[in-house]
């Protein structure tokens, strides 16, 4: 029986090695400690059998905020702990590397050298727009990462990877609609990877999606208006 079990694990290729298992266990312990620090109780994930009651008339904001925080924590734990698998972890780590925000500056440079000046201008406008919105927000909000403290300029809210990815998806698909679906799927994978790898909370990623889409459309609008070929 032991041999059959080991063989099934080899065939699926989804078993975690000892190092990854320890990493997940440490992540789970960190989550528990953080929840205890914030006086949040542990509940079964997505258990809606006993819905919380909110007294809006009495402005019971504390209870409402705790319920939202608990729901977000459930989503975070489900994705970053329960869904762990070796192949998916390797894939998500690869996504993390190629979506490193400073690398997005290379695309406009390459497009400019290739003679695609309009696309390059829009791409650089989107990149600059992301920088001037994400960095101040991180400094102002200064939200802790899920696994603990970090530098203020690299704090959790919003997700920079997600913001830059969605901005690039919006503005580049504007020039060639054939790439719209692949680029949006890529941006979605980037956002998912930030939760899966334990780097961000779901609301950090959601804020990155909204901000990235907004900056992308704004960059397209501004560069279209200022383009020499525009009427």
Centre a 10 Å sphere on the Cβ of residue 60 and count the other Cβ atoms it contains.
15
Centre a 10 Å sphere on the Cβ of residue 143 and count the other Cβ atoms it contains.
18
Write down the pLDDT at residue 54: 39
**pLDDT for residue 203 is more than 50:** yes
Domains of the chain, with CATH numbers? 18-84 (no CATH), 96-226 (1.20.144.10)
Rounded Cα distance between 82 and 220, Å, is 39
Write down the pLDDT at residue 16: 43
Write down the pLDDT at residue 147: 86
Write down the pLDDT at residue 70: 83
Write down the pLDDT at residue 27: 60
**pLDDT for residue 56 is more than 50:** no
Write down the pLDDT at residue 150: 78
Q: Do 32 and 42 form a contact (C-beta atoms < 8 A)?
A: yes
Using one digit for the tens of pLDDT, what is the confidence trace for 158-188? 999 999 999 999 999 999 999 999 999 999 9
pTM of the model: 0.74
Query: Which of 183, 182, 143, 140 shows the shortest CA–CA distance to 159?
Result: 143
Q: Residue 58 gets which letter from DSSP?
A: G
Count CA atoms closer than 13 A to 84's CA, side-chain side. Answer: 18
Using one digit for the tens of pLDDT, what is the confidence trace for 111-163? 999 999 999 999 999 999 999 999 999 999 999 999 887 788 899 999 999 99
């Amino acid at each position: 029986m032991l041999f059959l079990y080991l063989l099934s694990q080899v065939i699926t290729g989804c078993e975690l090695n000892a190092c990854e298992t320890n990493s997940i266990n440490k992540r789970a312990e960190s989550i528990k400690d953080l929840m205890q620090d914030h006086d949040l109780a542990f509940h079964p994930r997505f258990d809606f059998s006993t819905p919380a009651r909110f007294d809006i008339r009495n402005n019971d904001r504390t209870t409402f905020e705790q319920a939202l925080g608990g729901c977000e924590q459930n989503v975070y734990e489900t994705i970053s702990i329960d869904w762990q698998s070796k192949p998916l972890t390797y894939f998500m780590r690869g996504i993390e590397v190629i979506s490193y925000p400073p690398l997005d500056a290379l695309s406009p440079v390459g497009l400019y050298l290739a003679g695609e000046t309009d696309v390059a201008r829009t791409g650089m406008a989107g990149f600059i727009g992301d920088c001037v919105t994400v960095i101040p927000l991180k400094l102002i909000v200064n939200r802790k990462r899920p696994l603990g403290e970090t530098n203020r300029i690299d704090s959790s809210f919003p997700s920079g990877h997600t913001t830059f990815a969605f901005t690039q998806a919006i503005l580049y698909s504007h020039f060639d609609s054939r790439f719209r679906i692949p680029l949006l799927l890529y941006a979605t994978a980037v956002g998912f990877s930030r939760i899966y790898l334990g780097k961000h909370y779901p609301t950090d990623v959601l804020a990155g999606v909204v901000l990235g889409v907004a900056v992308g459309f704004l960059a397209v609008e501004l560069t279209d208006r200022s383009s020499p070929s525009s009427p």
